[in-house]
Structure 1
Amino acid sequence: MGAQPTVSDVAGVAGVSRQTVSNVLNSPEVVRPETRERVEAAILSLGYRPHASARRLRTQKSSTIGIRLDPLTRDGISGSVLDRFLHALTEQADALGLRVLLFTARDPEDEIEQFRRLSDAADVDAFVLTSTFHGDPRTEWLIAHGQSFVTFGRPWGIDDMTDPEHLWVDVDGRSGLRAATEHLLDAGHRRIGFLGWPAGSGTGDDRRAGWLEAMRAAAAVADEDLGGLEEAAEDGVTPGADAMRRLDARLGGEVDAVVCVSDSLALGALTATGGRIPVIGYDDTPVASSLGISSVAQPLDEVAAGVLELLTGEHGGRVRPGSDVADARHRLVVPRLVVRDGATLIPPR
């Protein structure tokens, strides 16, 4: 038996975009009659059958949401954020009479295969995606195949604030790191370093922008010297400690404080300095709380609520071009800074 025809096959035969095919299937009233007839003829000629699972959510018959269970991280710190989000999502979904189905995947391509398997079997009615990144192929596949979905994280790399093709909820990392940096500036610190991830990470770049904005607004150091105050590292405690040592060595130890893109890097910075300078992390993980590290807290209950609103509300997990739905397509949640004292428990190596 040959492969089942896809939305892309129908679009090719009809000479239209995949979004137009999706509109014909889900919101035919927004498509011109002659275009709709051409698409419908292509559907008949190919024998294309739209997935029932993508429709149930829109018709208030859904009961199951699929989400990937992320692999364990080596340091066991950063992964706790998605674990807490998953807990909040499951708890709130249950209150709405919905179930959450967990699945695993090795990489984005494997996750797409899981989408295909679960949607073909009608096991789920919608998907929630996490850990979005530049050029994410998962969202393209879901849009092309008419699936309902919401992402926790913006579709980085495109006009993500007004993207018309999918729905997302995110935490405003820029405002979080800006608040952390402003707190240190208000305390009298000027040479505030930044430990971030390598360039190209949408989330990391967004958080870095908050540090830059605060430093430039305060004119704490000359603009041309800001680059010397930052260091990049892969996420983890050991890379964070190594990055902090590089930063210290380059600046001769003249760093007043440091803000970090994650609690893992913050713990590394604390390890390298022994609490000699203030360190602020991001994510407010249990590790940060137990060690007294200041951190930016993501309001994950609000994120989960926003995801479910977009899945079960007027949008039903899908954007319909030309519709009169007034509800915003996105939710940008503001984090909060948690200030703690006493993170001096780890001696420098």
Structure 2
Amino acid sequence: MASRQGEPARRPGMVDVARAAGVSHQTVSRVLNAPDSVRPETRERVRSAIEELGYRRNMAARALVTSSTRTIGVLTTGSHFHGPASTTAAIEDAARSAGYASLVTPVLAHDRGGVEDALDFLVDRGVEGIVAVAPQAWIATSAQRAARRVPMVVVADGLDPGPRIHVVSVDQELGARMAVGHLLATGRRDVAHVAGPADWYDARARRAGWVGALEDAGATAGACLAGPWDPRHGYESVAALAGELPEALFCANDLIALGALAGLRERGVAVPEEVAVVGYDDIAGAEYFSPSLSTVRQPFDELGSLCLDVLLRALAGEAGACHSIAPTLRVRGSSAP
């Protein structure tokens, strides 16, 4: 909009758009919020005026009028891990597609006090609901506290839902059963597990799936070595098992599997002829490991969409429940029969 010399330009408003398009400001509002209720030719005229004037909605003013910020909070305690980072990105994409902004707050995985502060920060900023990508077992207490003020969705396989807490997950136990079942089907009976951190819901569920698949097949669960989600853990686990290597290793994620492959290769152990290896996540490049890595793929895009859908249902008053989707198995060279 034009301004007097020396004065800052005024942002065009809805009235300016209405004047340029020759319609009422109520018609402009309908074009913005319910376009199908406006005749196509009128709709096109209003949109042309919006484009010509460079009009942008004032979301702060809209929030005051509607009592809706159209903003969700996303808390993540695993932003440097593949699974939580991929899930967070997928939630942001789904929110944007649904017309919501997302305020993402990362916190260190071990910082419990930081989680409490981050949840308070998000609530104080007026978010309508929160998705917590925080799979540590202790998140339950913090989620229950925050859910007294806004609806919560927690991404964790194993957390119990509450009246205002929905739990969304990929079925980690099922994925582990698929991986171990595949190894058993190739004739391997001695399957060790290189597990993730014991305080992570996902690691617990994958361990339960490993045990369950072996028990269903009448096989005894062998060695289980828990540790961090990194290649060094896989490498050192191979060293710890070197005295009597199992026929197969089910690794709790692909980075652990990468370290295990390096450890086996260093010891001259042929994969998959002597020891088969299966990972979890199907990270980018897993097919280019040496040998290519068999792994369990998590559908992160679908998980992000489900998180947002469930949060919107929670905002509409739906009581908390569990919502789960299935992973898929990718069989490659590291576990060939």
TM-score, normalisation: structure 2 = 0.70
Please tell me the residue identity of whatever aligns with 1:126.
G
In the alignment, which of 63, 68, 71 is matched to residue 75 of structure 2?
Answer: 68
> 5 Å matches for 1:43-82?
61-68=68-75, 70=77, 73=80, 79-82=81-84
Separation of aligned partners in 1, 2:260 and 2:294: 13
Q: CA deviation at 1:133?
A: 2.4
8 A contact 2:76–2:132 mirrored in 1: no
Separation of aligned partners in 2, 1:318 and 1:246: 51
Which residue of structure 1 lines up, in the alignment, with residue 263 of structure 2?
272
Separation of aligned partners in 1, 2:107 and 2:134: 13
> 5 Å matches for 1:1-349?
61-68=68-75, 70=77, 73=80, 79-106=81-108, 107-122=111-126, 124-136=127-139, 137-144=141-148, 146-154=149-157, 156=159, 160=160, 163-220=162-219, 223=220, 226=221, 228-249=222-243, 252-253=244-245, 255-274=246-265, 275=271, 276-291=274-289, 292-313=292-313, 315-316=314-315, 320=319, 329-341=321-333
Please tell me the residue identity of whatever aligns with 2:93.
E
Which residue of structure 2 lines up, in the alignment, with residue 14 of structure 1?
none
Q: Output one character per residue of 1:23-72: Cα deviation in whole Å (capped at 9) or x when no partner.
A: xxxxxxxxxxxxxxxxxxxxxxxxxxxxxxxxx8xx89341112135566
Which residue of structure 2 lines up, in the alignment, with residue 24 of structure 1?
none
Separation of aligned partners in 1, 2:328 and 2:184: 17
1:286 counterpart SS class = coil
Q: CA deviation at 1:272?
A: 1.0
Q: Output one character per residue of 1:157-211: Cα deviation in whole Å (capped at 9) or x when no partner.
A: xxx2x64441110111111011111111111111111111354432212111111
8 A contact 1:167–1:319 mirrored in 2: no
Indicate how the Cα distance of structure 1 residues 330 and 69 shifts in structure 2: closer, same or farther if over 3 A, else same: closer
2:279 counterpart SS class = strand
Q: Which has the larger radius of gyration?
A: 2
Which residue of structure 1 lines up, in the alignment, with residue 20 of structure 2?
none
Please tell me the residue identity of whatever aligns with 2:187.
G
Separation of aligned partners in 1, 2:79 and 2:312: 30
8 A contact 2:277–2:334 mirrored in 1: no
Q: Structure 1 stretches of 5 or more lacking a match?
A: 1-55, 74-78, 321-327, 345-349
TM-score, normalisation: structure 1 = 0.68
Please tell me the residue identity of whatever aligns with 2:121.
R
Indicate how the Cα distance of structure 1 residues 285 and 62 shifts in structure 2: closer, same or farther if over 3 A, else same: same
8 A contact 1:66–1:126 mirrored in 2: yes
Separation of aligned partners in 2, 1:98 and 1:89: 11
The alignment-based identity, stated in percent, is: 26
Stretch deviating more after TM superposition (287-296 or 277-286): 287-296
Q: CA deviation at 1:232?
A: 2.1
Separation of aligned partners in 2, 1:181 and 1:232: 17
Separation of aligned partners in 2, 1:179 and 1:195: 16
Matched positions, count: 261
Q: CA deviation at 1:343?
A: 8.7
Indicate how the Cα distance of structure 1 residues 98 and 121 shifts in structure 2: closer, same or farther if over 3 A, else same: closer
Please tell me the residue identity of whatever aligns with 2:295.
S
Separation of aligned partners in 1, 2:301 and 2:67: 23
Q: CA deviation at 1:81?
A: 2.1
8 A contact 1:195–1:244 mirrored in 2: no
Separation of aligned partners in 2, 1:95 and 1:233: 38
Q: Structure 2 stretches of 5 or more lacking a match?
A: 1-62, 266-270
Indicate how the Cα distance of structure 1 residues 116 and 233 shifts in structure 2: closer, same or farther if over 3 A, else same: closer
